[in-house]
Amino acid sequence: MSNLFSSIKKRHFEGPGGIFELLPIAIPMFISSMFDMLMMFIDRLFLSRVGVVHQAAAMSGGISSWMITSFFVGVIGYSSTLIAQYLGANQKHNCVRMVYQALLLAAISYPLALLVHFLVASSPIFDYHSELERTLERRYFWYMGFGCLNAFLRFSFGSFFSGIGKTKMIMVGNIVALFVNLIANWVLIFGHWGFPALGLDGAAIGTILSGLSSALVLVGAFLHYRRKPEWRNDTQRGLEWDKFRKLLRYGLPQGCENVLGMICFVFLVSSFHSYGDDMATATTIVFNWDGFSFHPLLGIQVGVTTLVGRAMGKGDPELAVKTTHSGFKLGLAYAFCMLMLFQIFTTVLVGVFAPESSGLDYTKVREYAVPMLRMAGLYIMTDAVLLIATGALRGAGDTLWCMVIHFLNNLVITLVILTCVHKLEMPPLRVWLYFVICGALSSSTFLVRYKVGRWKKLRIIEHTGA
């Protein structure tokens, strides 16, 4: 028996590309993602004590803003993969230089992001919702728009640490942000310590303050690392067109993939919100818990992307394959645990955001949310496959095909949902079932692209040591 365990440990856990190499990168990102979700939970949980519509408005307004922001952070964030590849090629000076290119892109992106926020706010995107929800959504939307600079800074500096595999610094930043978010929301939403009760506005301000605190932690950590001899870069801190162009070339498809996914998600959320306030709140509750299961998988994805990028920088695609297989094993094990949680404790999970003793009537909300959450648990396993496969493809630089596949999948899902809701006028639970089935099927397309193996031949950085 001991020989069997020793064989399993050696084959799956030890050595380059094994689970033990993946865990030190994935676990801090896993925890960081959990803290991100906890911050969202705090917002929604506190707002559920303010009013039934408020948490739905915060979700819809926040998602609409993130739809815009996600494009820019997708491009900026690809600097992480380039940094990982430079580290694999033993070009540490280029790792630091890539951070400066990300910062330049962040400075350019902020005014563009505000312009797009203005255009979206002027569109009829919220018009299908109730008057109160529409007013609250637009207000939260603008708070998040002005605060998107925090996200740009977090991704610029955070990409350095994820790229070199020092993800503990990102975790520390998120821990600080969590405490700032908790205190600020408690004070500003309900009105404590002499502050007025701001409700939804308080939640938005708390979110902005928490994002700023995380960004400042990463800025300080980067400045500390930059002083170390092995990372010191005194030759170039401005624009380097060759590196900036690489960031745009491989980052733009990732940014487009992000925003296309968010557009699909916004249409989905808006479609379910059109069934009324109860369904809007039920959808918010289900996506809160769906995010709880989904976001930690992003931590594993970051670990896979980083190690695949490092392996490709070394010119070793077989090591990248082994790393990806370790990611599949770890991701599927976690996803199975979440699947069991959602099936066994469904009523308890829904009750966190729809309490019977809150003084508000959540009866209809619970009737929708319980079966929706059970169905959502069915595609968690395929989410794991999708995230790990795309993480490997991005780490190798195959971002264009990721974008194309993502676009086609989301186009089909969006058309199916819009047709079911607005054309066929199906009941909401049946539409939700179709969404779950479509989401599960879409994951297989990324697995096919990964198995084809063309990503193994990609080379996206120079190997001159310059």
Q: Name which of 383, 223, 352 is nearest 288 in CA terms.
A: 352
Query: What is the pLDDT of the chain when averaged over all its residues?
Result: 84
List the alpha helices (DSSP H) in 191-316.
Answer: 200-226, 241-273, 277-314
Tokens of 325: 């297989």
| Rounded Cα gap, residues 431 and 414, in angstroms | 12
Q: What is the pLDDT of residue 8?
A: 60
The one-character DSSP state at 426 is -
pTM for this prediction: 0.82
Q: Convert the pLDDT of each residue in 310-336 to its tens digit.
A: 999 888 899 999 999 999 999 999 989
What percentage of the chain has pLDDT greater than the value 70?
91
| Rounded Cα gap, residues 355 and 363, in angstroms | 9
- pLDDT-wise least confident of 43-57, 73-87, 273-287, 364-378: 43-57
User: What mean pLDDT is predicted for residues 59-80?
Assistant: 87
Query: Who has greater pLDDT, 70 or 128?
Result: 70
Q: Convert the pLDDT of each residue in 80-108 to its tens digit.
A: 999 999 988 888 888 888 999 999 999 99
**Residue 150 in contact with residue 73, Cβ under 8 Å?**
no
User: What mean pLDDT is predicted for residues 239-263?
Assistant: 87
Q: What is the pLDDT of residue 465?
A: 45
Where in the chain are the domains?
17-457
Q: Is the pLDDT of residue 77 over 70?
A: yes
Q: What is the pLDDT of residue 466?
A: 41
**Residue 125 in contact with residue 266, Cβ under 8 Å?**
yes
